[in-house]
Amino acid sequence: MNTEVLNGRLEPHGDGELISKVLETVVEQVRPCTSRGSVATYIPELGKQDKGLLGIAMASVQGDVWVAGDWDSPFTMQSISKVVSLGLALTEMGEERVFSRVGVDPTADPFNSIMRLEMVAPHRPQNPLINAGAIVTLSLLPYPDSHSRFAAVRDLARRLTGAMDLDMDEAVYVSERDTSDRNRALAYFLRSVGALEGDIEDILDSYFRQCSLRVNAKDLAVMGVTLASGGVNPFSGERVLSSKVCRIMRALMATCGLYDGSGEFAVRVGVPAKSGVGGGIVASVPMRYGIGTFGPALDPKGNSLGGIMMLERISKELSLRVL
């Protein structure tokens, strides 16, 4: 059995054998479908990824981990980091202050859309998981510069994943920083309508840095189960976030986590989740499991094609649906 134990438990409890088998099988079945997707190329460094990679990891609140396929291949969090910075902002600033500046409603638009920001007054990003909302959320954090802002996000990411050496992929960071006209346009537009304050380039720098945090599928599984357990990392035993903050994060993941693909994902999988253009998806099954998937072949909405297919099958096989 391909079982990795992070801390303590050596024998998976209960459905351990079944879970292991299901993970192996879905990777095998879904892998051929990755040829139908495309890696992200608008960040040139991401375009170098092998689109045939596919991996998965699952962690339980009891502290078991199961892995299959390319679970240990490294990739960058990209938009999955928006969940981390949201958790930090909610913890440090409180719900009221954050949501006075960023909404909590899903959009039917792509993750980097600028259109509705101009059309709807007040010009407030619709939610913290689209690019505009994540940039405003970061700007609210009480840190003087990109360096300290990013260090705080990285620290929370480390404690959520249990990967205490988690850090940036320098090449991906530089690649996005040097090509991100779209996010610059979004940020300067937000400033022009009074929705974003501060040093724009400095705020964007911390955004690009957090997007380039390098993880593997197992790290995401641990992050997912920490959110599922109400904020306690079952491997380190540390309370990382409050249960109230986790509840808000899971609600936003369920409604906005896959952008304009969120509704379809809720119907097909039925579990709170967040995707990133690096190919990752983190899923959180309340009080039970966290799941991390990796498959850099994306669908047209920028979500991992193989990741969604694997999660759909696993949700059905293991009765994980909560929505």
3-class secondary structure for the chain? CCECCCCCCCCCCCCHHHHHHHHHHHHHHHHHHHHHCECCCCCHHHHHCCCCCCEEEEEECCCCEEEEECCCCCEECHHHHHHHHHHHHHHHHCHHHHHCCCCCCCCCCCCCCCHHHHHCCCCCCCCCCCHHHHHHHHHHCCCCCHHHHHHHHHHHHHHHHCCCCCCECHHHHHHHHCCCHHHHHHHHHHHHCCCCCCCHHHHHHHHHHHHCEEECHHHHHHHHHHHHCCCECCCCCCECCCHHHHHHHHHHHHHHCCHHHHHHHHHHCCCCEEECCCCEEEEEECCCEEEEEECCCECCCCCEHHHHHHHHHHHHHCCCCCC
Residue 225, annotated as binding a ligand: no
For ligand DON, the binding residue among 211, 221, 227, 308 (CB under 6 A) is 211
Residue 176, annotated as binding a ligand: yes
Out of 136, 259, 274, 289, the active site residue is: 259
The contact pattern for ligand DON, residues 83-112, with x = CB under 6 A and - = no contact, is ----------------------------xx
The contact pattern for ligand DON, residues 5-44, with x = CB under 6 A and - = no contact, is ----------------------------------------
Out of 82, 139, 222, 304, the active site residue is: 82
The window from 189-197, 220-228, 270-278, 314-322 that contacts ligand DON (CB under 6 A) reads 270-278
The window from 12-20, 215-223, 272-280, 288-296 that contacts ligand DON (CB under 6 A) reads 272-280
For ligand DON, the binding residue among 55, 302, 306, 307 (CB under 6 A) is 302
Residue 183, annotated as binding a ligand: yes
Reply yes or no on whether 79 is catalytic.
yes
Residue 131, annotated as binding a ligand: yes
Minimum CB distance to ligand DON, residue 319 (Å): 27
Contact, 220 vs 57, CB < 8 A? yes
CA gap 25, 257 in Å, rounded:
26
Out of 277, 282, 304, 315, the active site residue is: 277
Burial call 124-142: b when 16+ CB within 10 Å, e when fewer: bbbbbbbbbbbbbbbbbbe
For ligand DON, the binding residue among 107, 131, 139, 161 (CB under 6 A) is 131
The answer to whether 257 contacts ligand DON (rule: CB under 6 A) is no
Reply yes or no on whether 277 is catalytic.
yes
Residue 312, annotated as binding a ligand: no
For ligand DON, the binding residue among 117, 217, 266, 277 (CB under 6 A) is 277
Reply yes or no on whether 207 is catalytic.
yes
How many residues bind ligand DON (CB under 6 A)? The answer is 13
The answer to whether 205 contacts ligand DON (rule: CB under 6 A) is no
Whose tokens are 């969604």? That residue is 308
The answer to whether 183 contacts ligand DON (rule: CB under 6 A) is yes
Reply yes or no on whether 188 is catalytic.
no
Which residues participate in catalysis according to the annotation? 79, 82, 207, 259, 277
Residue stretches of the annotated binding site for substrate? 79, 131, 176, 183, 207, 259, 277
Q: Give the footprint of ligand DON on this chain (CB under 6 A).
A: 78-79, 111-112, 131, 176, 183, 211, 275-277, 302-303
